[in-house]
Amino acid sequence: MRFIVSPTAKSWIKVDPLSHFPIQNLPFGMAEVDEENVMAVTRIGDFLVDIYRLIDEGFLPLEELLETDGFSDITREQSTQLRKALFDLFREGNPKLRDNSKLKKEALIPVSELNMVLPMPVGAFVDFYSGINHASNVGKMFRPDMPPLLPNYRHLPVGYNGRASSVVPSDVPIFRPKGQTKAADAESPSFGPTRELDFELEMGFFLAEGNDFGEQIPIERAEGHMLGLCLVNDWSARDVQRWEYQPLGPFLAKSFATSVSPWVVPMDAIEPFRVIGPKQDPEPLPYLQPSGPSHFDICLEVAIQTEAMSAPQVISRTNARELYWSFAQQLAHQTSNGTPTESGDLYASGTISGVEPGSFGSMLELAWRGQKPLVMQETGEERAFIEDGDVVSITGYCEGKGYRVGFGTLSNQVAPSL
């Protein structure tokens, strides 16, 4: 069951053509009502829409949503049903809510009046390594005398299980982590705050439906298990990572924080932007072979604002189509051994980098291990890695004819170690 909104559709709510939230989007999110209560919302233009209120008044289906924890217990089919009803309610020419002044005032809330929280409770978190340009750059840095990609990279989506407990929403401070590091000229390691804090530009997807223990999710059905996509910043402590990651891979250098954007953009909303990804050579094994285009044309940007700057500076522009392994391939591989998954599980793509230096998705690459620090144009400050007080912001959107379908902004400020 799919519901694709026409690119020419309009709403009775005025929406700027550059807004990320036209009627073609209608994403899912959760807003904070008070310290103890949250509510399910969508967004159109500059308004949050109280889904609970509209269900309670009989304007939307899925009364069971009122008894659940947001979107964590609805199926993909139910989410499509809800989004279809939202479209009908807000489409141009429908007076049902438009002319109900009292309810409209109560259910439409200016975005500035509420804080967004995690779009779903996160049950499990997996981080993949599907950005081939990032993986190649890292290989060139750390294995200069070897091929940049390890032998398995083009055969399977590499990934690891991270910490769901440290997944946080936008606007939450990221505390500089402490860890064990060892300088090249030191006889023994030391413990203290990381000196090489980094961001990682990623996309992620939340599951609407999982699979049972022992079962697989075939690649042709993988997207049907996804509620939608979001932005992800999987923070890294590079100096801690260098010392600890062999032989078992990422641990404390990655588990301290992963931030996600407030909005889950439904798969149907990005369907019109489906594209063919990079050529996969050799051909994947049958369980990883897609039946058609499985990537998406999503423009991505990263900006930094130091405490001395009056405005952020864009430091990277790239596109989600640069991923080597698609979201569907990632989920098919994750469950290929019978791993059970659940609604609310979060999967991140891995760092998305383009080919050119201005399209790299991490400071590790942009400043090339600190050898080429970035210069902040307004202040002349240099950045090899992220400093305390810096704000890192990620945004992304699909560009349609006269409209955008976007993810808003994922923004977090770095705070000193506790």
pLDDT in tens, 180-208: 999 989 999 999 999 999 999 999 999 99
Q: Kindly state the average pLDDT of the residues 298-311.
A: 98
- pLDDT exceeds 90 at position 64: no
State phi, psi for 274 to the nearest 5 degrees.
-70, 135
Catalytic residue (choose from 20, 134, 295, 333): 134
- pLDDT exceeds 80 at position 65: no
CA quadruple 60, 71, 321, 337: dihedral sign? negative
Give which of 172, 128, 185 is closest to 325, Cα–Cα: 128
Q: What is the pTM of this model?
A: 0.96
Interval 242-297: pLDDT, tens: 999 989 889 999 999 999 999 999 999 999 999 999 999 999 999 999 999 999 99
Sorted by sequence, the CB contacts under 8 Å of residue 58 that are 6+ apart come out as none
pLDDT-based confidence at residue 211 (cuts at 50, 70, 90): very high
- pLDDT exceeds 90 at position 54: yes
* Rounded Cα distance, 133 and 212, in Å: 34
* Rounded Cα distance, 239 and 109, in Å: 44
Q: What is the pLDDT of residue 393?
A: 98
Structure token digits, residue 309:
């700057």
Cβ atoms of 324 and 130 within 8 Å: the answer is: yes
* Rounded Cα distance, 262 and 144, in Å: 39
Comparison of pLDDT for 348 and 74, the residue scoring more: 348
Q: Kindly state the average pLDDT of the residues 56-68.
A: 82
Q: What is the pLDDT of residue 63?
A: 78
Position 418: which residue type? L
* Fold of the CATH domain 125-415: Fumarylacetoacetate hydrolase; domain 2 (3.90.850)
pLDDT-based confidence at residue 1 (cuts at 50, 70, 90): confident
| 32 alpha-carbon distance from chain centroid | 20
Domain ranges of the chain: 29-117, 125-415
- pLDDT exceeds 80 at position 88: yes
Give which of 83, 39, 76 is closest to 60, Cα–Cα: 83
Q: What is the pLDDT of residue 72?
A: 81
Interval 92-144: pLDDT, tens: 999 999 999 999 999 999 999 999 999 999 999 999 999 999 999 999 998 88
What is the average pLDDT score of the chain?
96
Torsion of CA 357, 359, 365, 368, to 10 degrees: 20
- pLDDT exceeds 90 at position 67: no
- pLDDT exceeds 80 at position 66: no
* Fold of the CATH domain 29-117: SH3 type barrels. (2.30.30)
Q: Kindly state the average pLDDT of the residues 338-366.
A: 97
> Catalytic: 134?
yes
pLDDT-based confidence at residue 34 (cuts at 50, 70, 90): confident
Q: Kindly state the average pLDDT of the residues 30-51.
A: 94
Q: Kindly state the average pLDDT of the residues 355-384.
A: 97
Comparison of pLDDT for 55 and 68, the residue scoring more: 55
